[in-house]
Structure 1
Amino acid sequence: MPLDKPYTDIPGTTIFDAEQSRKGYWLNQFCMSLMKAENRERFKKDERAYLDEWAMTEEQKQAVLTRDMNRMIAAGGNIYFLAKIGATDGKSFQQMAGSMTGMSEDAYREMMIAGGRPSTWTPPAKDKP
């Protein structure tokens, strides 16, 4: 029986729920492998060969190779795991987040200091009993 997911219509948002977790299991396991220096070196030496050791989909592998964070999230990646890729590349979390918004790191920082982007989503009206 599928669960009711009232959050699926939030524009521009992918919620990391149980379904996304299952979808991205191997992608996230790959990311966690990058916590070990020897795995980071193997990955940097031949990214494709290292990715091919994991039971990831081709879509997930291509998203990693192109460093498309939004595509990785859509493919089941969890941002906290995906941060390991950024760290391997010498990027800060702020640089990664900026890349996801299409903004420079400086523009992203300024936007966040100013309070973030305005929400374009409004919750649906609740039915009154």
Structure 2
Amino acid sequence: MTDDAFPDDEREAPTVSCERCGREWRLDREVEEIPPGGHAVEQFALDHERHTGHYPDDVSPWTARCERCPAGERFLAERPARRWAETHARHTRHAVRLEPPSGDSEVVSPGDDADRS
């Protein structure tokens, strides 16, 4: 069950921990500031990585890296990672390696999305 399955006054704030930092955070403020469905845990994880250079425990990103230029991004879900890879490949004609948090990576080539409607 996600934190947006409860009415605002009944939602319980999630807790995020980071072994590398030796800390744990209760996301009361984030849940209050980010509306239901706003993905408070994901936003916290992205902010944590921006400030520390690593993700909290149990968070592993999808990575899209261009095989030709220095462009690349990390995402917490497949859909935006794939969208970035397909868009970069389409606009630059560069192949992009899409690396899931676990499992085999794949290469998104220019034109791979041509048959999608």
TM over 0.5: no
Task: Using CA pairs under 8 Å that are at least 6 residues apart, name the structure with larger relative contact order, 1 or 2.
Answer: 1
Q: TM-score, normalised by structure 2?
A: 0.29
Higher strand proportion (structure 1 or 2): 2
TM-score normalised by structure 1 residue count: 0.27
The structure with more helix, counted as a fraction of residues: 1
